[in-house]
Structure 1
Amino acid sequence: MAYQRDSVLFFPPMPRSYKKHIAFQVIGAAVVIFVWYNLNGGFIPKFMLPRMPYFSFGSEIGCLVSFNVESDASRIQWARAVNSKKSVTDTMTNPAVHMVGGDIILRGHGTKFQTLEPVMARPPQTDSDITFKEWLEVAATGSKGIKIHLHSMESVEISLQILKEFNEQKPIKFPVWVHADVLQGPHGGKPVIDFERFFKTLMRLFPKCTLSLGWTTGTHTDLSQSAYTWDMVWDMLNLIQAHEEELTDHLIVFQARLSLIHNSVPQLKWLADNTHHSSVMVWHEDGDITPNEDVMYTAYRFPPHLIYYDLNHERLQRLLSEYRHRSSEKVHELVLRRDEVMFKPQGWLKMGFHRQKNSILASTEAIILVNPIVHIVSKSKYLPTSEVYIQGRVTFFNRKHREIDSHRTGLNIYVRPTEYTMFDSIVGIRCFIGAGGELEVTGSNLPSKIPSFRKTARMTPTHANCYRFRITDERTHLSFAVKALHDCTMLESVEPDEELVAILSVELPKGLEGDKQHPFILRMEDNNREGLIDELSIKHKV
């Protein structure tokens, strides 16, 4: 206890035991802090830190941060094919350029004179007046970022080793992109870069970079039906997800050719939506004929921070600069039409085995159901009436290379469900679209007091294996309209076709009427196909 002595506040000395107690507490706290810091790599646990590689400040730094372009990737300017001494010197003095791109081959590429020295050139060229090492010495003298495109498997390890050694001597503080075409794309040949070997080498030698991946492409006299298909982007997603632990904090960019964009935006947007920290780069090949509206389509559909442009074309660049944030004024009318049928993931709930990896791959562009043990349920509910219906399209994929099981392999759409927590015991009316064209309406796990009913039909499937459907629950009977479509990929497929005609009209037995509101449910029946569903919506007739 403190007391006053000669107008001074005086504290008596502490007992020895109390001092020892305080000392032990201080030492204990220090030990706890030491252990905590070492286990978590800092005072704040890693799991509490946002995984935002955009705020790194080495060679993995994001372009948006490095060049301070206010989250608008279209403002990043590129210099492409900077593969000579003169071009790299000129580019480094050009204040308009942010990123310098170069192509790497081994000297004598593809000839009997091929060496182990990486030089800057693009096939079919076989040599250059500048080596990759010399190119780095010049390209790294300023504040611009670099992007290297590797064109042969033999050049990967040698080039990345040079990059690693350069970074060790003089740490890189600007963005570095490492690009390879790792999958076969529209009209493209078989890729020369094996993704697994490329990725393992990159992670071993120079992991701190932006990983840039693309598809091989080619030209064709008519590109109106060409696209980066759903299978192509799905294959790319599989590559990324096979290494998702290693790529947790990596920036990833998918590169797509502008002349092939017209029918590919939904697929590319779906890929970006399902890949963490990913963006899309649209590049224009010299000589490609591309309508203005295709540039605007990408600008309209992608947020500004998620899409880069390497156009190398004055007209297209001027159009992008002027209309990037007013792109709706310049898009094709079918792009705006597609807005009316966009899938809304926020309107649906995932149910079943929630931890089943990739059981649902959702985006505003489409949702893919890959496993019957998971289903989706609409958040909005309805009363049976002719004024409400569900509509959409389903495309079946055979990525597991399995035979279909007739009247079993396909998509279930459940109407008027009452129990739906377990995937294998959904109670309601089951409307089935089979991958082989089978259609069926029947009861699903209904109480025994309700008479059984079943009505079937069949239609001839098309090569697209795609169906448009509409189901109207009219209280006393159910109307099931389905049409086999010849295309579900082209932008033009969004055009409304003739009125869907009900193929099955089913009188419903007594005991099902009820006055309760019900959701809609979608679920795959088995594992033999994957179902991609787009243009899915619940409509109210006007």
Structure 2
Amino acid sequence: MTFVEAFLLIFVARHVVCADYGREMRATRMSVVDFWKNETMGDGLNIRVAHGVNSWPDLVDQLHEPFLNKSMMIEGDVFLQAHRRPRHRAIPVMRADTKMADRITFKEWLREVAIMKKAIKINFRSNEVVRPVLQDLYASQADPSSPILQYPVILHANVFRSPRSIEPEVDPNTFVERAKSLFPDATLSLGWTKQADFSHLNPKYKRLTWRQLLHILEYIAKLDQPVMLSVRLSVASQSKEQLLWLLGMDKSVSLLIWSDKEDKILDWEPIIELRRSTTKNRILYDLEAQHRKILQTVANEPIENAPSFSLSQWRAVEFDSASAMVSTVVRSEKGPAFLGEPTALLLSQIPPPKYPATQSIEGKVHFLPKAMAEDVNVDENSGMSIFLMDKVQELDSPKIRDALQVFVGYDGRVKIENAELKSMPYYESKSVGQLPLSECYSFKVTDKGWRVIADVWTIDCDGKEKRKKRHLKLELDTPFQKGRSLRNVVVTKSGDGAIDFLLDELRHSSAPFLPSLALITAFMVIIRGVPDDKRDLVCCTHHGVESNCELLQIAHN
């Protein structure tokens, strides 16, 4: 290599490093929730949004707006302007109700709004405009001559199709993946397409279902950047539980609740509870004046709700999947959700107790078949599995072998199976039962060390017990583990990716051994005549198990 070639190589390398360093230093990775914390006094109801700032006159108005009505976010709509002549490249322009000569390009718009010290929201109105706009944003971060984007940038697209839609949806895969690769510093905002005659729509379409929630998770589960969900006020009022689940996720997720004149709210209690159950600035409101006035007049003291799932007590472990399907476990304070192929595990962080203490795992499982499940043969082993295993350090794949399994299938099949009993023929290897088909089941698994008990029963998915409650109880004797310790708890998915499920109120707890009065009396008789230095030996070897000698000794004294 000559001196000139070496010099050019070093120059190019320094140029690349400096470009990446500049982009890193000029990142806008900040959610609007954090950005507006001070300006809104911690209340998302206090934001002001400037809609449809798509022309030069609109930009001038933003520069001279009254202080009391000053907006905190500028919103623009961008689409691709095609030319009649093939040699002219289509460019992103802002959608404005003006003559063609007055169109403002996206680059011009971005240059002007970048100096206004406000959050920027860019609405993508077609699939074709996604890539060129993101390339312009990427270039704006790397170009030293461009205005510095020091404030949050929100990239919004209506990626979910609504009933009676009057616009095409933007492909969610294209939007999310390209935003993730070209401009990962932005907040991604996902919404639903505009509708015709919303007020006359069937009420069943004015809510977010659990299946739709899992569909949303397929796109945001593995995103590192902040995510915002744009939800209509009428839909939010019918989807309180689903939205609280999203807000309880262990990642930066926020809501933008918006309304127009077609929103007729008869019961404000769910919206008020949403507002009071979360940190107030986690939900932003872009409402009509009459709707904003109602929320401003009601009490908004925070409600302290204990989480039904402890994020600190369960650790997620994920393995790579060869399938293109999104396969993971998503954790929320309301419970975990298992998606796709069974490649993710939840490991309890509670150490297994020593015998004769017991441990239990209980909760509710809500099975949600994917749309494709209607056209394929679902694996009969699809369902939820709780594994009780000796050493979790040996996990090197999602397929668990040589462990005791408690299985609750989507079709109501329940079983306890011990794969460790290869050399112990005097133990039963499994216990199997069948419940009626139900979307939701409650369960409680009790591990006594020498026996495992599974109680499973049918419930309504809203938490109420069915009138004809069907209950199943299975038991299976099992040998002790080494050291007389009970097993570690692992929760996972079984079968294939056609059946997803949510777990609600998942808890793992252990109960200490409390000897009965009869047992204490019997041991007191045994040790009464034994010398003090021999009492521990007698106590700990009685029945060949480790009993709670300290409690018996205290009772004797």
TM-score (norm 1): 0.65
* Alpha-carbon distance in structure 1 between the residues aligned to 2:155 and 2:32: 13
Query: What letter matches 1:147 in structure 2?
Result: K
Query: Deviation of residue 317 (structure 1)?
Result: 5.4
Contact 1:413 1:520 in 2 (8 A): yes
Return the match for 2:502 from 532, 536, 540. 532
Residue 169 of structure 2 is matched in structure 1 by: 192
Contact 1:64 1:73 in 2 (8 A): no
Return the match for 2:309 from 320, 343, 359. 343
Query: What letter matches 2:475 in structure 1?
Result: V
Contact 1:100 1:139 in 2 (8 A): no
Query: Deviation of residue 232 (structure 1)?
Result: 3.4
Contact 2:359 2:511 in 1 (8 A): yes
Quick one: structure 1 residues 281 and 315, their matched pair in 2 at CA, closer, same or farther if it must change by over 3 Å?
A: closer
Residue 416 of structure 2 is matched in structure 1 by: 441
Residue 331 of structure 2 is matched in structure 1 by: 362
The answer on 1:458 being equivalent to 2:424 is no
Query: Deviation of residue 519 (structure 1)?
Result: 3.5
The answer on 1:292 being equivalent to 2:296 is no
> Superposition pairs for residues 281-430 of structure 1, below 5 Å?
281-290=256-265, 291-304=267-280, 306-316=282-292, 319=295, 326-328=301-303, 336=305, 339=306, 342-350=308-316, 353=319, 358-369=327-338, 370-372=340-342, 374-380=344-350, 381-382=352-353, 389-399=360-370, 401=373, 402-406=376-380, 408-415=381-388, 417-420=389-392, 421-422=394-395, 424-430=399-405
Contact 1:80 1:312 in 2 (8 A): no
Query: Deviation of residue 176 (structure 1)?
Result: 4.6
Residue 42 of structure 2 is matched in structure 1 by: 72
Residue 158 of structure 2 is matched in structure 1 by: 181
> Superposition pairs for residues 34-45 of structure 1, below 5 Å?
41=18
* Alpha-carbon distance in structure 2 between the residues aligned to 1:376 and 1:163: 38
The answer on 1:256 being equivalent to 2:231 is yes
Query: What letter matches 1:255 in structure 2?
Result: S
Contact 2:240 2:271 in 1 (8 A): no
Quick one: structure 1 residues 459 and 320, their matched pair in 2 at CA, closer, same or farther if it must change by over 3 Å?
A: farther
TM-score (norm 2): 0.64
> Superposition pairs for residues 143-222 of structure 1, below 5 Å?
143-153=117-127, 171=147, 175-185=152-162, 191-195=168-172, 210-216=187-193, 218=195, 219=198
Query: What letter matches 1:455 in structure 2?
Result: S
SS in 1 for 2:104: helix
* Alpha-carbon distance in structure 2 between the residues aligned to 1:403 and 1:481: 28
Residue 16 of structure 1 is matched in structure 2 by: none
* Alpha-carbon distance in structure 2 between the residues aligned to 1:541 and 1:484: 26
Query: What letter matches 2:377 in structure 1?
Result: E
Quick one: structure 1 residues 484 and 89, their matched pair in 2 at CA, closer, same or farther if it must change by over 3 Å?
A: farther
Gaps of 5+ in 1: 1-32, 56-60, 108-114, 122-126, 330-335, 488-492
Query: Deviation of residue 536 (structure 1)?
Result: 0.8
Residue 7 of structure 2 is matched in structure 1 by: none
Q: Please, what is the CA RMSD of the aligned residues?
A: 5.4
Query: Deviation of residue 259 (structure 1)?
Result: 1.9
Residue 111 of structure 1 is matched in structure 2 by: none
Contact 1:393 1:536 in 2 (8 A): yes
Query: Deviation of residue 36 (structure 1)?
Result: 11
Contact 1:78 1:310 in 2 (8 A): yes
* Alpha-carbon distance in structure 1 between the residues aligned to 2:20 and 2:132: 39
Query: Deviation of residue 457 (structure 1)?
Result: 2.0
Query: Deviation of residue 328 (structure 1)?
Result: 1.7
Gaps of 5+ in 2: 1-9, 82-89, 513-557
Contact 1:482 1:503 in 2 (8 A): yes
Count of aligned pairs: 468
SS in 2 for 1:181: strand
The answer on 1:520 being equivalent to 2:523 is no
CA distances 1:466-523 after superposition (whole Å, capped 9, x unpaired) = 3222223466755433234453xxxxx1457789764124252676899533343222
* Alpha-carbon distance in structure 2 between the residues aligned to 1:376 and 1:386: 23
> Greater shift after overlay, 451-460 or 169-178?
169-178
* Alpha-carbon distance in structure 1 between the residues aligned to 2:431 and 2:423: 19
CA distances 1:201-237 after superposition (whole Å, capped 9, x unpaired) = 8799988754432123654656478543444344444
Residue 20 of structure 1 is matched in structure 2 by: none
SS in 2 for 1:133: coil
* Alpha-carbon distance in structure 1 between the residues aligned to 2:483 and 2:268: 54
Query: Deviation of residue 375 (structure 1)?
Result: 2.9
Query: What letter matches 1:412 in structure 2?
Result: S
Quick one: structure 1 residues 427 and 259, their matched pair in 2 at CA, closer, same or farther if it must change by over 3 Å?
A: same
Contact 1:295 1:316 in 2 (8 A): no
Query: Deviation of residue 347 (structure 1)?
Result: 0.8
